[in-house]
Amino acid sequence: MEYVSTIMPALLKGLVTTLQLFALTLCLSLPLGLVVSLGAMSRLWPVKAVSNVYIWLLRGTPLMLQLFFVYYALPAFGITLDRFPAAVTTFVLNYSAYFAEIYRAGIQSIDGGQYEAAKVLGFSRGKTMRYIIIPQTIRRIIPPVTNEVITLVKDTALATAIAVPELIKAAKDAANRDVNTTGYVIAAALYLVLTFLLTLVSRTLEKKYSISDREGGGRIIKDKKGRSLLLGGLFGGSL
């Protein structure tokens, strides 16, 4: 127990870095994913091609390889990033590609009749997306998005490969120094607490929004508000 208290400050410091990495990645990749998914569905073929290649590359290569590339290989192209910014950049790029695919699937699952109804009511393409399609999509994609968010918490551990001082790095340092694996056990417990909290948040969100398609609910989100509610909920549960 005495040993635990000696390594706890270092572990908690690592945890803070993990949470920062997690929160920054979410804040940036959720909106970037939307841009990429709209690009992938664009009618302009160059935009569509670039977006699809982006998704293909980032989903088709290991996240750890991408970390190495951004941290070790980009300096050769004149872009040098510190460990933490390099990790954030990599995670944002990687997760935006996954979110883009989730958004795309969600948007494409909306019935064509919605577009037709919007069109005869005078909605332009942009306004149709904003007022009709995206608010409906948000509710449908809550389960896959929260799933991805929980995966992200665990994926942040990969940043240890480029020596970002996050939770795993802190545990590993303690284990190497003291020849004692207790740090790993505590790290595991902390990850479990985090994913448990996120699971609770995602359950609440699903209950609140997803089912309302069928049952009508009573508290359905209104256009833009919905997105901020969703983000607020996720961060509220994890920070």
Partner 1 sequence: MKVLDMKGIVKKFGAEGFRAVDGVSLCVDSGEIVSIIGASGSGKSTLLRAVCTLERIDAGSIVIDGDTIVKDGVYAKESELLRIGRKSGMVFQHFNLFPHLTVLQNVTISPVKIYGETQDKADKRAMELLDMVGLANKANNYPSQISGGQKQRVAIARALALSPKLMLFDEPTSALDPEISGEVLQAIRRLAKSGMTMLLVTHEMGFAREISNRVVYMDEGRIVEQGGPDALFGAPKSERLQAFLQAVIQV
Q: Work out how close the CB of 230 gets to partner 1 at its nearest, in angstroms, rounded to a whole number.
A: 14
Site for partner 1 contains 117 (CB under 8 A): yes
The one among 59, 119, 154, 177 contacting partner 1 by CB under 8 A: 119
Nearer to partner 1, 34 or 132 (CB): 132
Residue 43 binds partner 1 (CB under 8 A): no
**Using CB under 8 A, which of 33, 135, 165, 237 touches partner 1?**
135
Does residue 68 belong to the site contacting partner 1 (CB under 8 A)? Answer: no
SS3 78: coil
- Distant-in-sequence, close-in-space partners of 178: CB < 8 Å, separation ≥ 6: 3, 7
In the complex with partner 1, the residue whose CB is nearer, 58 or 133, is 133
How many residues form the binding site for partner 1 (CB under 8 A)? 25
Among 5, 122, 126, 179, binds partner 1 (CB under 8 A): 122
Alpha helices in 41-133 (DSSP H): 45-60, 63-68, 83-108, 112-120, 125-127
Among 1, 44, 76, 120, binds partner 1 (CB under 8 A): 120
Q: Is 219 in the site for partner 1 (CB under 8 A)?
A: no
Exposed, middle or buried, 18 (CB in 10 Å: 0-12/13-18/19+)?
buried
The residue (of 43 and 214) whose beta carbon lies closer to partner 1 is 214
Question: Of 229, 46, 63, whose CA–CA distance to 152 is shortest?
Answer: 63
- Return d(Cα 145, Cα 163) in angstroms, integer: 28
**Residue 207 binding partner 1, by CB under 8 A:** no
- Residue linked to tokens 């795309």: 104
Position 136 contacts partner 1 (CB under 8 A): yes
| 217 belongs to the binding site for partner 1 (CB under 8 A) | yes
Q: Does 151 bind partner 1 (CB under 8 A)?
A: no
- Rounded least distance, CB 227 to partner 1, Å: 13
DSSP sequence for 22-58: HHHHHHHHHHHHHHHHHHHT-SSHHHHHHHHHHHHHH
Tokens 């398609």: give the residue: 213
Q: How far apart are CA 199 and CA 188, in angstroms?
A: 16
Which residues bind to partner 1, rule: CB under 8 A?
A: 111, 113-114, 116-117, 119-124, 127, 131-132, 135-136, 139, 212-217, 220-221
